Chains A and B, each alone.
Chain A
Amino acid sequence: MTATTISGRRQGPATDLRRRRRPGETVIELLLALCGILSVGTTVAIVGMLVRDGGAFFGEIGVLDFLFGTTWQPKGSPAKYGVLALLSGTLLVATIALLVAVPLGLSAAIYLSEYARPRARRILKPMLEVLAGVPTVVYGFFALTWVTPQLKKIFPDIGVFNALAAGLVMGIMIIPTIASVSEDAMRAVPQSLREGAFGLGAGKRRVAVRVVVPAALSGIAAGIILGVSRAVGETMIVAVAAGATPNLTADPLKSVQTMTGYIASVAGGEGARGTTDYSSIFAVGLTLFVLTLILNLISVALVRRFRQVYQ
């Protein structure tokens, strides 16, 4: 047990105290390790399940027909499974949601990070976070029974189910996602940058927009991408309010069906397990999983970047 702490080397004592054990503790630690490794098991199970059952689907319907087909008609004869029809619905709703959530989420983030006093921040931030705590089926209800009737006053020919109401409400839902990640990034910007700008005569607005926002850009981008991922994966709002018509359209007043909405509709339709109809949800689920996985990986990488720059 000779300690070698001479010459400031970053090596601890020769015997690491953390290595001492009492009988039984190895078992506890193994159990804890099992919990951690279980998370990898979940991912493996997801991928395995989606690939296995999605693969069965792709055996019947070609991958290319699936990826590049523009008609989604599982009930038609011949049945057509072109995922672009669903993907366009997903993208349309997500775009509307982002048009709402990015400006609102960013203004909330800038206000909370640069303007709000600590007291106001302590109250406003949890209130904003409640928006993320509201169950999404409740948002769906709100979109269908309140937002769409209000929109009808402006656009008389809007459908009962439409992409616009679903997108608007989804935008409200993802405000906290974008706001809290962006705010974290802005608060991580060192005070010295702000003071430097103030010293050069910049006003508060200029400091916020020209100094803090650019400095926090990778974090803000991470927040927005996380928001996109939420929007793409959100199910209940679109299942309730966006409709069930796989439509290759950019018209937000029309009914569309998203990837998640399709999975939900098959679930509700009691589609017999084992049919092509049922196995198509695994193919759609796989597409959805890959799409959100890519978005999440980008987001994680961006967050790590802003952490590295300022710490």
Chain B
Amino acid sequence: MTLTAPRAPERTLQRTSKDGRRVAGERAFQLLLLIGLGIGLVVLGVLLYTVANKGGGRLSSEFMNGFPSRRAAKAGIKPALYGSLWLLGLTIVIAVPLSIGAAIWLEEIAPRNWLTRLIEVNIANLAGVPSIVYGILAAGLFSGLLGLGDSLWTGAFALSMLAFPVIVVAARESIRAVPPSIRQGAYALGATRWQVTRRSVLPPSIGGVVTGCVLALSRAIGEAAPLLLVAVTASFSTPNSPGDVFSALPLQIYSWTTRPQVAFQVNAAAAIMVLLGIVLTVNVIAIFIRNRSQVRW
């Protein structure tokens, strides 16, 4: 293939069939990558559609306010929903201050030595501990040794241990993003270390910290595994205090899903819609906070 009327023959690289193949190869590769990325999202779409299709008709105020029942059509999620909300509240109270405290200490106060190094590696590993292991610990330690029984406290401690490393990692990243010059400025004005931390470092990093908390909590509220050993799968009474036995939405879903009757799977789908509604709303809130609070230095 030669060009008949080249305007600038010296500068035009001739397109050969090899180039054509190369362009096609590039296109194909890019398409392949997009397909790879897309499959996950398509599956997510199918999942949401399946759940909505199956459970959409079951969502009603009776379902939200009903109690578990042997008859699928009469069963509801009130105890499980209340259990989950209780767990969420208690987990916030336990996990948020402890993990933010640990993050502040590691970033701002702790001396750089083997102990902090150990703690850092330890937190990274805690983030990878299977959630059911936290359940075993909760059953053995909080329920057994500490005598809390199979109560909301025990469940909340299990979820708090799960959320702890996630919040610490997110909070540390956010705190670290505050440039050292901000701290030095505050020190130069005579502030003490705690004043620097509280007045200069925390305010600009609070957005990232809150986002981390919200994401960790949304993860925790959807977890069933750590609660398996300490909660009842289908509770018949709504908990009134942290000392009560409890169920939780993910456990109720598990219990219904594993029943052979299709009617219970419809219930499970409807309960999933409620759970996903909570989790996804919380996620959107987190993204919103993150976008609103981004500080550029």
CB of A32 closer than 8 Å to a CB of B? yes
B3 at the interface (CB under 8 A from A): no
Size band of the interface chain B makes with A? 35 or more
- A110 in the interface (beta carbon within 8 A): yes
Is A14 positioned at the interface, with any CB of B under 8 Å from its CB? no
| Cβ-based interface call for B218 (8 A) | yes
B265: chain A residues at CB < 8 Å are 141, 145
**Chain B residues, Cβ within 8 Å of A205:** 25-26, 29-30
Q: Which residues of A contact B51 (CB under 8 A)?
A: 138, 141-142
Tell me the bound Cα distance from A260 to B101 in angstroms.
32
CA distance A28 to B108 in the complex (A): 13
Q: Which of B161-190 contact A (CB under 8 A)?
A: 161, 164-165, 168, 187-188
Is the beta-carbon distance between A296 and B124 smaller than 8 angstroms? yes
Given A107-B32, A267-B229, A40–B44 Cβ distance below 8 Å? no
**What is the interface of chain A mostly: helix, strand, loop, or mixed?**
helix
Q: When chains A and B are docked, how far (Å) is the Cα of A17 from the Cα of B196?
A: 11
Contacts of B133 in A (CB 8 A): 46, 50, 233, 285, 288-289
Whether A250 is near chain B, meaning CB under 8 Å from some CB there, is: no
Q: Which residues on the A side are within 8 Å of B101 (C-beta)?
A: 31-32, 34-36
A137 lies within 8 A of B222 (CB): yes
Whether A124 contacts B37 in the complex (CB less than 8 A), given A140-B257, A205-B26, comes out as: yes
Any chain B CB within 8 A of the CB of A180?
A: no
Say which size band chain A's interface belongs to: 35 or more
The answer to whether the Cβ of A226 comes within 8 Å of any Cβ in the partner chain is: yes
Interface residue? A155 (CB, 8 A): no
Q: Across the two chains, which residue of chain B brings its CB closest to A229? A: B128
Q: From A3-11, A62-70, A185-193, A235-243, give the one contacting chain B.
A: A235-243
B130 touches A107 (CB 8 A): no
Query: Complex: how many Å from CA A267 to CA B243?
Result: 20
- Structural contact, A134 and B119, CB atoms closer than 8 A: no
Q: Write out the residue numbers on chain A whose beta carbons fall within 8 Å of the beta carbon of B26.
A: 203-205
**Residue from the list A104, A240, A296 in contact with B40, Cβ < 8 A:** A104
Apart from A36-B116, A43-B122, A267-B229, 5 more pairs, CB < 8 Å: A35-B102, A142-B47, A142-B51, A172-B40, A282-B136
Q: Could you list some 13 contacts between A and B, CB below 8 A?
A: A33-B105, A34-B101, A38-B98, A39-B119, A111-B36, A128-B40, A133-B215, A135-B275, A138-B47, A142-B51, A145-B50, A145-B257, A296-B125
10 residue pairs, one from A and one from B, having the closest CB atoms: A233-B130, A107-B36, A135-B222, A35-B101, A296-B128, A32-B105, A235-B225, A267-B228, A35-B102, A111-B33
